[in-house]
Amino acid sequence: MSHALRTASGGRINRSRTVRFTFDGRELSGFEGDTLASALLANGVHLVGRSFKYHRPRGVLSAGPEEPNALVQIRRDAARVTPNLRATEVELYEGLAAQSQNRWPSLQLDVGAVNSLLSPFIPAGFYYKTFMWPRRAWQWLYEPRIRAAAGLGRAPAQPDPDSYCNRFAHCDVLVVGAGPAGLAAAHAAAESGARVILCEEQPQLGGSLLSEQEPGEALGEGEWLARTIQGLMTHPRVTVLTRTTAFGYFPHNLLGLEQRLTEHLAQPDPRQPRERQWQVRARQVVLATGAIERPLVFPGNDRPGIMLAGAARSYLNRYGVLAGRRAVLVTASDEAYRSALDLHRAGATVAAIIDVRPQASGELAEAARRAGLPVHTATTVIGTSGRLRVKSIRIQKLDAQGRPEAAAERIVCDLVLMSGGHTPSVHLFSQSRGTLHWNEALQAFLPGQSPEKARCAGACRGIFSADAARRDGQSAGALAARDAGLAVGTVISAPRLLETDGAAAPGQLPQPAGRPAAKAFVDWQNDVTSRDLSLAAREGFRSIEHVKRYTTTGMATDQGKTSNLNALGIVARQMGKAIPEVGLTTFRMPYTPVTFGSFAGYSRGELFDPVRTTPIHDWAVRKAAVFEDVGLWKRARYFPRNGESMHAAVTRECRAVRSGCGLFDASTLGKIEVVGKDAVTFMNRLYTNGWTSLAVGRCRYGILLRDDGFIYDDGIVARIAEDRFHVTTTTGGAARVLAMMEDYLQTEWRDLGVWLTSTTEQWAVIAVQGPSARHVLEGLVQDADLSAAALPHMSVAPGRICGVPMRLFRVSFTGELGFEINVPADFGSAVWEAVYEAGQPHGIAPYGTEAMHVLRAEKGYIIVGQDTDGTVTPDDAGLAWAIGTRKPDFLGKRALERPAMRSPDRKQLVGLLSAEPHVVLEEGAQILPDARATPPTRPIGHVTSSYYSATLGRSIALALVRAGRKRMGQTLYVPAANGNLPVQVVSPVFYDPKGSRQNA
Amino acid sequence: MLLINCPYCGERPELEFVHGGQAHIARPGNPAECSDQQWAEYLYRRDNIKGVHAERWRHVHGCGRFFNALRDTTSDQFLATYKVGEQPPAQPRKATA
Ligand SMILES: [Zn+2]
């Protein structure tokens, strides 16, 4: 056991439970209750990582979520590798395997550290300035090198085998943070009758009190912490969530919480979810998120062994670990003296206390002097030494003008503690769009007003002492309960802000003039120095948001928790402005990184997106159909037989329809039942066509425009009764057409008596198409006459098929004699199979969407969304005949009268035949008027649909071409890989232009 | 995610709604009498307000009804929701927190 730096007693660790772990393969041990960071420090390990840009050796800086240096990768197995975890938050478990990051070949000897020698050549904005030329070098030199050099840690090579879950919750009061303020707030709110959720990122409740030797003492009374925790854990109205980070504050008091369920376990049950993401909607929110200690910026402030003063105190009091044996404290506030005093009491040597303030006369400073600790006031730090661990610190006393007052002094040490005061954690408050205001005495931004129902309590609003924070929390909790509508008794008044405990002005510690100082780091994780920031300001960056992006300060995974304010101070000084004039960069979620797994939750694999299938789907699966996704629908694309290629299958399926009979599942078509006394008026206003004259039992091809005159949807509309229309829409348009109908009905034409019902999933639609279609159906249909006289093209009749009630449409999207059988969805599969059986003597073949596309293109029928793109009018598409010109109004009518909509130069739908009949043009290909045209040139149109037509023995295409109808017979050109391909402009109807087949 | 008070159903999460653009833009009663300019204004011109904005919502995954809302675009706080056909309520000076 080599816990060389473990104290003999004390702390909140369980000394009877030894936990073994490895760091970079080295076997070490700690105690139950340790974090990885505390266990490493107990073993004397300070060097834990290499910095991002210069690969400088780095140690543990903090003891919490703000940690910028000690990022490690934890590996459980090949699929469970998590990079960039903060060692200060990783709970130790038996067998934990941690690795340092961003070093090669090893942490002690890192080749990338050569960047540190090159650092004069890697200033701020280096990436923007250097990798500019030659452009081609990006591909083979710069980008691969930068990618190899960048990035912290490695992603696992296998898919994540763990499960993640989501939960929605509501409460009266959500309290974020379980330090003295948060605990008191939760308690007061619950006692007032509120349903409370208390969330805390640490495994234990207590917050800063956990780092006190005697938490009760800190509060001025004993046992408060234990009593309060006990009360909350057993309270029926309180839900306590530990290991749970509130990572985001969203509008209307919705907070995102990430609860880590198994990360701390040595052998997690693989059936247990790894994380749970909560979305909590709270009537009232109390933010008790505490404060983060601010580092000091001085030359050489990044060596392992240099850490925040409060962190060293946490390691000592909470984990029983001495972070070093010979410490120097550098401070600008009284509070940090506690760290020196505690280390002194625990047996460490405090070699010096460097106080940058002119005087240090507070109670704690006096206590330090009484304890014999040497206090140097009006003194600054001008450098440090030590490669893999700090060895000494150089200090310099300054006079009132900032000039050296005595010779510089070197103090040997193995630990440097620093404290520039505390920065209230206003991240969540700011995410709620709360305003912040600058407090000069505390040198910090404090929360002001939030538009949300939120209030802050304790250190996050500048109330730093534990006792005051507790009273502040108690007041905030009761007020939150009151504002949530609960009857509350007397509310204690909140403590006043004490502005006595000074803090260093953010920025760099004063340095004697003319001295070329070593690097003074501001952002440890992104390796941004004070010099980088000054340079950015000198180069003319004025907005702090621009400085941030240029220097990358605050842009690492820690989001600048320890660095933003110091960066702001340096930039403000360089610009000669006050900090609040320069302003603050925006706080964004997440507070600490959140896994993708927790966002995905259950939405993985089969649950990623809903899948819609038709009643005939299973039959198609049995027939080995190849499916395609159309929106959420699975549609059979083609039915290959005996290993046919798609081309062979589609050719065969098209032939079957043209020569015998094909069977097509059209169930995905959108269907809307439009019913009511004003149904025909409604249809007249909505669709371009005239509907008054449509007789019951007849169908019409309808076009729906937006009010801007462009085609929105199309489909067959049948009049079932005087007051009832059966409207079909495109598969993809069903929902938006219904929404548009509802919109007009509910908001514009509220006087119309019309009801709309989606019947898409209530009808199975079986299209039977081809010259033999009538013969196939004859034996199956009852109560309906299939003859051309009784049921001509574009008509509909009720009836029964196989005993099932149906609506039988005589319609065709193929150009052949065709029927579309609509039966209740539950009978779809049985009727389909009956038709398939009845069609066997006629060589019936099921066909998929691919053959359907070819067949309709041969007839020049458009598909909305493929041959139109939201800028196509009915006339452009050759559908002017479908416009009821005598109607006074319909959606889009007025827009169609604009001059631009009537221009003869608009793009119009035409057919194209390529000069080489076996070449199928590419859909989307541009069309040029000139064979010799080379880029740059202006195309006059594009190909919208293109197929090989087996029926015609050649390729065909539909296209939108400027003034296309005037160009019939002309030769145009389509750019292809081997030159511009000549194409002839023809009618878009390639097959049976007179329509005699469908009227058969 | 906003919390939206449907006038028919009460408070529901934003997931259940779709936004319907600016409210109180009536389709001209007789489009044929509109000039091209007036028609273009009706079709395309919308306010982009910093402050209280009247907008349409539809409770599409609930009752299916359209309604109107007053929302402060600077704070995302709703001042009121009200049914189609109703006048917007008199605006309080400031969104309530
Ligand atoms: Zn509703």
pLDDT one-digit tens code per residue, A417-428: 999 999 999 999
Q: Enumerate the residues of chain A whose CB falls inside 8 A of the CB of residue B58.
A: 739, 742-743
pLDDT digit string, tens, across residues A472-490: 999 999 999 999 999 887 7
Distances (CA, A) of A335 to A354, A936, B22: 14, 70, 55
Q: What is the CATH number of the domain that holds A873?
A: 3.30.1360.120
Is A940 in the same domain as A845? Answer: no
Q: Enumerate the residues of chain B whose CB falls inside 8 A of the CB of residue A888.
A: 32
Q: Of A846, A868, A900, which residue sits at a domain end?
A: A900
DSSP per-residue string spanning B5-74: EETTTEEEEGGG-EEEEES--PPPS-GGGS-HHHHHHHHH-----SSEEEEEEE-TTTT--EEEEEEETT
A263: in domain: yes
Q: Residue A117: what pLDDT?
A: 66
Contact A908, A964 (CB under 8 A): yes
Beta strands A415-419 and A326-331 are parallel
Is A755 in the same domain as A861? Answer: yes
Is A689 in the same domain as A743? Answer: yes
Q: Residue B54: what pLDDT?
A: 96
| Subunit contact A742:B58, Cβ cutoff 8 A | yes
Is A676 in the same domain as A711? Answer: yes
Distances (CA, A) of A734 to A183, A737, A761, A831, B21: 53, 5, 11, 24, 21
- What's the angle, vertex CA A73, arms to CA A72 and CA A74, rounded to 5? 115
A717: in domain: yes
Residues with CB under 5 A from ligand 1 (ion): B 6, 8-9, 59, 62-63
Which pLDDT band holds residue A497 (cuts at 50, 70, 90)? Answer: confident
Contact A317, A33 (CB under 8 A): no
Chain centroid to CA B7:
13
- How far, in Å, CA of A831 to CA of A836, rounded? 8
A203: in domain: yes
| Among A860, A799, A851, A856, residue whose Cα is nearest residue A665 | A851
Which pLDDT band holds residue A583 (cuts at 50, 70, 90)? Answer: confident
Task: Give the three-class secondary structure for A855.
Answer: helix
Give CB contacts under 8 A, 24+ apart, made by A543-546.
A544/A568, A544/A571, A544/A582, A544/A583, A544/A584, A544/A585, A545/A585, A545/A586
Locus of tokens 């009491």? A345
Q: Enumerate the residues of chain A whose CB falls inside 8 A of the CB of residue B65.
A: 746
Nearest chain A CA: its distance from B89 CA (Å): 18
Chain centroid to CA A28:
38
Which residue in B75, B82, B94 has the most chain A C-beta atoms within 10 A of its own C-beta, making it the best mutation to test that interface?
A: B75
Helices (H) and strands (E) in chain A, counts: 26, 48
Q: Identify any residues that bridge with B26 across adjacent strands, giving them in sequence order.
A: none
Q: How high is the ipTM of this complex?
A: 0.95
Q: Which structural domain range is residue A964 located in?
A: 904-1000
Statement: residue B93 has pLDDT above 60: no
Q: Residue A215: what pLDDT?
A: 75
pLDDT digit string, tens, across residues A323-382: 999 999 999 989 999 999 999 999 999 999 999 999 998 899 999 999 999 999 999 999
Nearest chain A CA: its distance from B48 CA (Å): 20
A437: in domain: yes
Which residue in B6, B36, B41 has the most chain A C-beta atoms within 10 A of its own C-beta, making it the best mutation to test that interface?
A: B36
- How far, in Å, CA of A386 to CA of A324, rounded? 14
| Among A319, A266, A270, residue whose Cα is nearest residue A21 | A266
Is A893 in the same domain as A1000? Answer: no
Arithmetic mean of pLDDT, A200-217: 91
| Among A852, A892, A858, A853, residue whose Cα is nearest residue A875 | A892
Which pLDDT band holds residue A602 (cuts at 50, 70, 90)? Answer: very high
| Among A72, A80, A75, residue whose Cα is nearest residue A39 | A72
Distances (CA, A) of A663 to A639, A786, A943: 11, 17, 29
Give chain B's radius of gyration (CA, Å): 15
Is A743 in the same domain as A866? Answer: yes
Is A755 in the same domain as A894? Answer: yes
Q: What is the CATH number of the domain that holds A215?
A: 3.50.50.60
Residue of B nearest to A449 (CA): B97
Q: Enumerate the residues of chain B whose CB falls inside 8 A of the CB of residue A450.
A: 97
Q: Residue B22: what pLDDT?
A: 97
As a whole number of Å, the end-to-end CA separation of chain B is 16
Q: Residue B96: what pLDDT?
A: 44
Statement: residue A49 has pLDDT above 60: yes
Q: Residue A104: what pLDDT?
A: 66
Q: Of A452, A469, A497, which residue sits at a domain end?
A: A497
Task: Give the three-class secondary structure for A606.
Answer: helix
Q: What is the CATH number of the domain that holds A911?
A: 2.40.30.110
Give residue B82 CA to ligand 1 midpoint distance, Å.
Answer: 11
Q: Residue A789: what pLDDT?
A: 95
A77: in domain: no
Give residue A502 CA to ligand 1 midpoint distance, Å.
Answer: 54
- H/E stretch holding A765 reads strand A763-769
Q: Residue A240: what pLDDT?
A: 98
Which pLDDT band holds residue A145 (cuts at 50, 70, 90)? Answer: low
pLDDT digit string, tens, across residues A779-823: 999 999 999 999 999 999 999 999 999 999 999 999 999 999 999
Q: Residue B95: what pLDDT?
A: 45
Give residue A451 CA to ligand 1 midpoint distance, Å.
Answer: 25
Q: Could you tell me the two tokens for A669?
A: 């078509």
Task: Give the three-class secondary structure for A703.
Answer: strand
Task: Give the three-class secondary structure for A863.
Answer: coil
Which pLDDT band holds residue A500 (cuts at 50, 70, 90)? Answer: low
Give residue A752 CA to ligand 1 midpoint distance, Å.
Answer: 21
Q: Residue A401: what pLDDT?
A: 85
Is A270 in the same domain as A173? Answer: yes
Which pLDDT band holds residue B97 (cuts at 50, 70, 90)? Answer: very low
Across A334-353, b (16+ Cβ under 10 Å) vs e yields bbbbbbbbbbbebebbbbbb
Distances (CA, A) of A586 to A285, A428, A505, A750: 21, 11, 21, 46
A192: in domain: yes
- How far, in Å, CA of A522 to CA of A57, rounded? 16
Distances (CA, A) of A535 to A532, A693, A710: 5, 78, 55
pLDDT digit string, tens, across residues A87-140: 999 999 999 999 998 776 677 777 666 667 666 666 666 656 655 555 566 566
Q: Of A477, A497, A517, which residue sits at a domain end?
A: A497
Arithmetic mean of pLDDT, A233-255: 97
Q: Could you tell me the two tokens for A284?
A: 């009232």
- Counting Cα atoms < 13 Å in the Cβ hemisphere of A645 gives 3
Q: Residue A494: what pLDDT?
A: 84
Residues of A with CB under 8 A from a CB of B: 250-254, 279, 281, 433, 449-453, 707-708, 739, 742-743, 746-748, 750, 888-889, 893-895, 898-899
Q: Residue A52: what pLDDT?
A: 79
Statement: residue A513 has pLDDT above 80: no
A220: in domain: yes
Q: Which tops the pLDDT comparison, A934 or B50?
A: B50
Question: How many C-beta atoms surround the C-beta of residue B82 within 10 A?
Answer: 17
Which pLDDT band holds residue A152 (cuts at 50, 70, 90)? Answer: low
Is A917 in the same domain as A974? Answer: yes
Is A639 in the same domain as A707? Answer: yes
Which pTM does this prediction carry? 0.90
Q: Which tops the pLDDT comparison, A921 or A104?
A: A921
Q: Could you tell me the two tokens for A122?
A: 């890697």
Collect all residues with Cβ–Cβ distance below 8 Å to A483 and sequence separation of at least 6.
A283, A284, A453
Could you list the beta-strand ranges (E) of A772-906.
Answer: 781-782, 795-801, 804-810, 818-824, 845-846
Does domain B3-83 fall under CATH 3.40.1360.10? My reply is no
- How far, in Å, CA of A959 to CA of A983, rounded? 11
Arithmetic mean of pLDDT, A164-169: 96
Which pLDDT band holds residue A585 (cuts at 50, 70, 90)? Answer: confident
| Subunit contact A450:B60, Cβ cutoff 8 A | no
Give residue A196 CA to ligand 1 midpoint distance, Å.
Answer: 28
Statement: residue A283 has pLDDT above 90: yes
Contact A184, A111 (CB under 8 A): no
Residue of A nearest to B33 (CA): A894
pLDDT digit string, tens, across residues A700-755: 999 999 999 999 999 999 999 999 999 999 999 999 999 999 999 999 999 999 99
Statement: residue B37 has pLDDT above 90: yes
Residue of B nearest to A451 (CA): B97
Q: Which tops the pLDDT comparison, A506 or A957?
A: A957
In what side-by-side order are the strands of the sheet with A818-824? A781-782, A795-801, A804-810, A818-824, A763-769, A662-665, A845-846
Instruction: Spell out the SS3 assignment of A54-109.
Output: CCCEEECCCCCCCCCCCEEEEEEECCEEEEEEECCCCECCCCEEEEECCCCECCCC
**pLDDT > 70 fraction of chain A, expressed in percent and rounded:** 94
A791: in domain: no
Is A912 in the same domain as A993? Answer: yes
Is A879 in the same domain as A994? Answer: no
Arithmetic mean of pLDDT, A23-34: 96
pLDDT digit string, tens, across residues A172-185: 999 999 999 999 99
Which residue ranges make up each domain of chain B?
3-83
Q: Residue A51: what pLDDT?
A: 84
| Among A149, A167, A159, A156, residue whose Cα is nearest residue A103 | A149
Contact A241, A257 (CB under 8 A): yes
Q: Identify any residues that bridge with A801 across adjacent strands, giving them in sequence order.
A: A781, A804
Tell me what the pLDDT averaged over chain A comes to: 93
Collect all residues with Cβ–Cβ distance below 8 Å to B18 and sequence separation of at least 6.
A739, B57, B58, B60
Instruction: Spell out the SS3 assignment of A21-35.
Output: EEECCEEEEEEECCE
What total number of domains does chain A contain? 3
Tell me what the pLDDT averaged over chain B comes to: 92
Crossing angle of helices A564-575 and A544-551, in 10° steps, is: 120
Which pLDDT band holds residue A1 (cuts at 50, 70, 90)? Answer: very low
Burial class (CB in 10 A: 0-12, 13-18, 19+), A310: buried
Q: Residue A502: what pLDDT?
A: 65
| Subunit contact B97:A254, Cβ cutoff 8 A | no
Which pLDDT band holds residue A141 (cuts at 50, 70, 90)? Answer: low
Contact A242, A205 (CB under 8 A): yes
- How far, in Å, CA of A116 to CA of A119, rounded? 5
- H/E stretch holding A129 reads helix A126-130
Q: Could you tell me the two tokens for B57?
A: 């919502």
| Subunit contact B97:A898, Cβ cutoff 8 A | no
